[in-house]
A = this chain, B = another copy of it.
Amino acid sequence: MRLSGLSERSGVSTATIKYYLREGLLPPGRQVNATTAEYDEEHLRRLRLVRAMIQVGRLPVATVREILGHVDDDSLGRTIRLGAALWALPQVPEPDAEDRYVRAARQEADELLRTLGWSNAALLTSISPAYRSLVVAVAALRRLGHEWDAELLVSYARLMHRAAVLDLDFVDSRESEAERIETAVLGAILVDPMLQALHRLAQEEESARRYGFE
């Protein structure tokens, strides 16, 4: 398809597509003559991914370029490639390692991984932004004197593992490796807001079932 066709099918203006091409977020089309290039389904897919990162994820162009660099680096194994792409997403800053709540939260998080038998995740704790986010979230609970018990954390983690199985089953069902990596990145941006919305809706439903509306 031509540039105008790509614009029509994606709903993205030709001016924006040209901007993405200039910024290297979209690979150039196949040049058919001096003024015309052809684009294919891969361009359309890539354009949707870029759109998701910029419009929904609100990522800056430089971050999008970094993530795409990992997505396209097929010299890496899939776990590392996916990890590198996901870890380029905005993350919580490193917590203060001297803070006593942070130290306690780290112990609690390590204990949680042992209880769950998540030995792979346990190998990544020194570099994983997900682990860091968990430490920050648990430290916040503890600093506020919240008495959440460790068992509840385990139950939440088991539910989230089932969500991860659904995610990866869906990723694995995609046909090409390029699609699988792109779906994973798209999922990282789009799925969490959806899970959060479903969680709040489920709370409304469950709350009304238990206490009624009066």
Contact = CB atoms under 8 A, between A and B. Distances in A.
Interface stretch (A26-34, A66-74, A161-169): A161-169
> Which among A133, A160, A162, A196 has the highest number of chain B CB atoms within 10 Å?
A160
A196 B156 contact: no
A69 B118 CA distance: 43
A91 B207 CA distance: 19
Contacts of A148: 170
A203 B128 CA distance: 11
For the side of the interface on A, what is the size category?
Answer: 35 or more
Report whether over half of chain A's contact residues are helix, strand or loop; otherwise say mixed.
helix
Interface in A137-194: 137-138, 140-141, 143-146, 148, 152-153, 155-157, 159-168, 170, 172, 186, 188, 190-194
B190 A146 contact: yes
A77 B205 contact: no
A16 interface: no
Contact of A199 (B11, B48, B79, B160): B160
Nearest to A148: B170
A187 to B, nearest CB: 9
Closest 4 CB pairs of A and B: A130-B200, A120-B208, A133-B197, A164-B202
